[in-house]
Amino acid sequence: MDDYASILAYADLQRRLADDSIVAEWYAGYRRGLQRAHHGDAISTKTEHALFVSLADSFDKHRAALGAGYRAGFAGEPCVYPVGTSRG
């Protein structure tokens, strides 16, 4: 299994094991962002990409977590939920 597949599987596992819905959303976003970074336009449109990026600035905590995770995955940051991040 290559690094991409391993990180994708790890993010999915963390999403499923999360006991907090905000954390689960972050990992779901991370996974999606990682996929976009790896596959580019083949996985989503530029409009969808812009929407996911913008979610990080949402007032809704779940959408914000999804967007923040997406940005982190797309940027190739480590697949670790940021400690000290506000939870639901």
User: Does pTM surpass 0.85?
Assistant: yes
The number of beta carbons lying within 10 Å of the beta carbon of residue 73 is 27
Question: What is the predicted pLDDT for the residue at 84?
Answer: 65
- Cα gap 56→41, rounded to integer Å: 21
In a domain, 49, yes or no: yes
Our count of domains for the chain comes to: 1
Chain Cα centroid distance, residue 65: 8
Q: Would you say how long the chain is, in residues?
A: 88
CB neighbourhood size of 56 (10 A):
17
The answer, yes or no, to whether residue 83 has pLDDT greater than 90, is no
pLDDT tens digit sequence for 39-81: 999 999 999 999 999 999 999 999 999 999 999 999 999 999 9
Examine residue 33 and state whether it is found in any structural domain, yes or no: yes
**19 part of a folded domain:** yes
- Domain range for 41 is 3-75
